[in-house]
Amino acid sequence: MLKPGMILCDRYEILEVVGAGGMSIVYKARDHRLNRNVAIKMLKPEFVNDKNFVTKFRIEAQASAGLAHPNIVNVYDVTEDDGIYFIVMELVEGITLKEYIDQNGRLPMDKAIDFSIQIASALEIAHENHIIHRDIKPQNILVSKNGNLKVTDFGIAKAASSNTLTSGAMGSVHYISPEQARGGYSDERSDIYSLGITMYEMVTGRVPFEGDNNVSVALMHIQNDMISPREYYPDIYASFEKIILKATQKKPERRYLTASALIADLRRVQNNPNIDIVVAPTGISNRPTQEWSKEDIDAVRSASQAKPVGNGQPQFYNAPIQNEMGEMQPIQRLSTIPVNNQRINQLFEEEDPWEDEEEEEVAPPPRKSSLKRVQDYDEEDDYDEDDGDIDPNLKKAVIIGAVATAVIIAIIVMVVLGKVLGWFKFGNKQTTESTTSSESEISTEELAVMDDVVGISEDAALKILRDNSGFTNVTSEHVNNTEVQEGYVFEQSVEKGTPISKDAPIVIKVSAGAEEKTIPDVTNYEDDQAVTILQEAGFTVTHAYEFNDEIEKDKVVRTEPAGNSMAKEGTKITLVISNGKEEKNVEVPNLNGYTQAEAENALAAKQLSVGNVTHENSDNVAEGYVIRQGTQSGSEVPEGTAIDFVISDGPEEKTVTYTADVKVDISANDTGSVDDEGNAIPSKYVGHTVTIRVSNGTVTQEQTVTINTEGKASANVSIDGLATNNESFTYTVYDGGNDVTGDFAKTPSTTYREN
């Protein structure tokens, strides 16, 4: 299990786990070289140890990397880092089609047809490149946020099918084609069958076959007719139902032969749902099909219900259907068949999908079977497939077992004869004819030939020398050695092949690994500087990253193992580098209608700070409550962001003022007089320009007017900002700067307007 912050290949930083399947765990990661997010699919440890599987997995994944299509998840890289095998893929933000159906229920017709065309388009390009998916199901189809579909895991099912895996690591039994369930030959039409089951689930919200265990569901795919979708929901287009039923025919030759043909019919239905274009074809050949007898079915049912015996291991185990639709491998690999159930073995023998490494596989020839054969005269007869030959894996196992048994028997015979004939005794049993005392002689029976133990583990070397060869004086000396793996012998004191006494001293030198050194403490060092220090000290370096409130960005937080501790030279030291203070985004709360104290508490609860608080009058919001806020509620901002808001001071207090519109009529006092002859004498001010000034003592307004021939004039002035509508005014008349008010009669009139 990878941890967030770990770096793979000094390039991919693990961010989080986004999902897990039968064979792998998927992580969201950051490609620091290309500055983009990617998906990392890492093989689970139980598969990493199978080198054959890893090789085939790499080949298939690399083949699928050549597929470029909008509806296929792009594969960027297939690589390994320190025993971790993984695929680097395009990161699709969204959910699986399975989750989409679970959340939304059965899909509308237009969406189901659109989704079907997208999936079939992905299969079309893959099949053109001779790549069969073998595991089409909603769990392997991603629905992005913009509604586009992307198919993933191309080629991986083939790698999985070549290994004996658990029921959680193979294609889901609910979508498996009859020929796959039988363990037979599969091709493009197998993918079309699985897509047909997926289309069935899209329009009905369910899979066509359900059972108590995987075997019963697989048998339904082989034998049973599915309930037509329109029996569940009559609103399903009849034309679309016919497409589904044709895609899910039991016999491959009765299905669509290519994804292109399927797409063509889907587009015709998309353009005209009422069109009647698809009819399930009649049987293509009259070759006999195999009929399941009552004895066959009873044998399967009996075996599938077997209980654990002896040590608790079941004789016939059917993996329960899992929550994610119970992934499985071909039927016969689910079980250990008891001897008395050979009949079931005959029903479910399979071919090895990796027997022929070429993409163009050849269908196996018919095998002999005890199944009853009937002539296929009617297209409504039970569907069946060509049955495969006896399992090549079983053939290989029998041959290898026979050879191994023969070799073991031959070795036993040789050992027995050797002991009888004295082949394994060194020298002669007879004592040496010599005049020397027998006490000074060393019998050849006490000698043994020194073995070669260099390059093997210490325990194995000691076992060979002590237990097998009988040496009694063997000691180990542990010496630091950077070239030989710790615990392995790199030198022996007696050369191989030397005959020596069994009690002669023998010393083997065992590698104690590299010498332990003190790890430099590089906390707070710059990244590059820390790498140099550690490498000069004899260590290798890798990186991990984490947020830290105290250590500056791009400086070392700590090392793993810790600084000043001891580690062997060459040990990989992980430098944990600070990403600086983590900026977590939080949602801005809605402060409208809060008091100032409530608004401050709401911001504090979200780890936000109080920004600039201002006040203004409002006719709509009561005094003391928030009118509005500076940052919109519901938006995402970093923790600690200051949020401004405005507090209401209530309605504004209005001061009523008035404007006085004043009209002043003036008339010269010297008008109306006559001369001696009785003619009217005009006023001396006729034609004069005079200024009429109106004032309340605070505000003064004036207007210049001309005296007419009648000795009269009028002025209109407005005085604003009056506190009352009952002001007292003075009226003054100036002629050329001289106050001539007394020479005129004044008739003012005033009206008031409220401001």
Q: Is residue 439 part of a domain?
A: no
pLDDT tens string 245-258: 999 999 999 999 99
Provide the mean pLDDT of the chain: 79
Greatest Cα pair distance in the chain: 203
Structure confidence at residue 295 as a pLDDT band (50, 70, 90): low
Q: Is residue 140 part of a domain?
A: yes
Mean predicted confidence (pLDDT) in 232-244: 93
Q: Is the pLDDT of residue 116 over 90?
A: yes
pLDDT score recorded for residue 60: 66
Within 148-246, strands assigned E span 149-151
Q: Which long-range contacts (CB under 8 A, 24 or more apart) does 219-225 make?
A: 219/181, 219/297, 219/300, 221/173, 221/176, 221/177, 221/178, 221/181, 222/178, 222/181, 222/182, 222/250, 222/384, 223/292, 223/382
> Is residue 203 within 8 Å of 226, Cβ to Cβ?
no
Task: Provide the token pair at 96.
Answer: 């699986």
pLDDT score recorded for residue 298: 56
**How many structural domains comprise the chain?**
6
Same domain for 254 and 130: yes
Same domain for 627 and 743: no
Structure confidence at residue 733 as a pLDDT band (50, 70, 90): very high
Structure confidence at residue 348 as a pLDDT band (50, 70, 90): very low
Q: How many angstroms from the chain centroid is the CA of residue 321? A: 24
Same domain for 68 and 163: no
pLDDT tens string 484-496: 878 889 999 999 9
Q: Is the pLDDT of residue 193 over 50?
A: yes
Q: Is residue 435 part of a domain?
A: no
Q: What is the CATH number of the domain that holds 45?
A: 3.30.200.20
Structure confidence at residue 156 as a pLDDT band (50, 70, 90): low
pLDDT score recorded for residue 192: 97
pLDDT tens string 359-406: 333 344 443 333 333 333 333 334 343 444 444 555 555 566 666 677
| Count of Cβ atoms closer than 10 Å to residue 220 Cβ | 19
Same domain for 303 and 163: yes
Structure confidence at residue 413 as a pLDDT band (50, 70, 90): low
Q: Is the pLDDT of residue 309 over 60?
A: no
Q: How many angstroms from the chain centroid is the CA of residue 184? A: 33
Give Rg (Cα) of the chain: 49
Model's pTM, two decimal places? 0.43
Q: Is the pLDDT of residue 80 over 90?
A: no
Cite the active site residues.
135
Q: Is residue 640 part of a domain?
A: yes
Q: Is the pLDDT of residue 37 over 80?
A: yes
pLDDT score recorded for residue 468: 80
Same domain for 230 and 152: yes
Q: Is the pLDDT of residue 327 over 80?
A: no
- Name the nearest CA neighbour of 92 among 149, 41, 42: 149
Same domain for 170 and 31: no
- Cα–Cα dist 166/587, whole Å: 45
Q: Is residue 345 part of a domain?
A: yes
Same domain for 256 and 155: yes
Same domain for 163 and 274: yes
Helix (H, G, I), strand (E, B) or coil at 106: coil
pLDDT tens string 502-532: 999 999 999 988 888 899 999 999 999 999 9
- Cα–Cα dist 79/372, whole Å: 50
Q: Is the pLDDT of residue 222 over 70?
A: yes
Q: What is the CATH number of the domain that holds 539?
A: 3.30.10.20
Same domain for 616 and 686: no
86-95, 173-182, 670-679: lowest mean pLDDT where? 670-679
Degrees, nearest 5: CA angle 218-220-223: 115
pLDDT score recorded for residue 422: 53
How would you write 118-143 as a 3-class SS string? HHHHHHHHHHHCCCCCCCCCHHHEEE
Sort 84 into a burial class: Cβ within 10 Å, 0-12 / 13-18 / 19+.
middle
Cα pseudo-dihedral 707, 708, 713, 716, rounded to 10: -100
For residue 316, give its domain range: 94-359+371-386
- Last residue in a domain, options 90, 125, 147: 90
Mean predicted confidence (pLDDT) in 139-162: 78
pLDDT score recorded for residue 279: 55
Q: What is the CATH number of the domain that holds 212?
A: 1.10.510.10
Per-residue burial over 736-754, b = 16 or more CB atoms within 10 Å of its CB, e = otherwise: eeeebbebbeeeeebeeee
Q: Is residue 398 part of a domain?
A: no
Which of 294-308, 387-401, 441-455 has the highest mean predicted lDDT (pLDDT)? 441-455
209-213, 382-386, 522-526, 713-717: lowest mean pLDDT where? 382-386
Task: Provide the token pair at 664.
Answer: 């002043």
pLDDT score recorded for residue 360: 38
Structure confidence at residue 285 as a pLDDT band (50, 70, 90): very low
Q: Is the pLDDT of residue 70 over 80?
A: yes
- Name the nearest CA neighbour of 102 among 327, 320, 326, 324: 324
- Last residue in a domain, options 35, 66, 90: 90
Same domain for 239 and 305: yes
Q: Is residue 591 part of a domain?
A: yes
Q: Is the pLDDT of residue 432 over 70?
A: no
pLDDT score recorded for residue 62: 74
Same domain for 350 and 260: yes
- Last residue in a domain, options 528, 547, 578: 578
- Cα–Cα dist 334/332, whole Å: 5
Q: Is the pLDDT of residue 353 over 80?
A: no
Same domain for 246 and 175: yes
pLDDT tens string 615-637: 999 989 999 999 999 999 999 99
Q: Is residue 413 part of a domain?
A: no
- Name the nearest CA neighbour of 639 among 609, 601, 611, 598: 609
Q: Is the pLDDT of residue 421 over 50?
A: yes
* Packing angle, helices 259-271 and 188-204, rounded to 10: 30
Q: Is the pLDDT of residue 72 over 70?
A: yes
- In the beta sheet, which residues pair with residue 479? 511
Q: Report cis status (omega within 30 of 0) of the bond before 308.
A: no
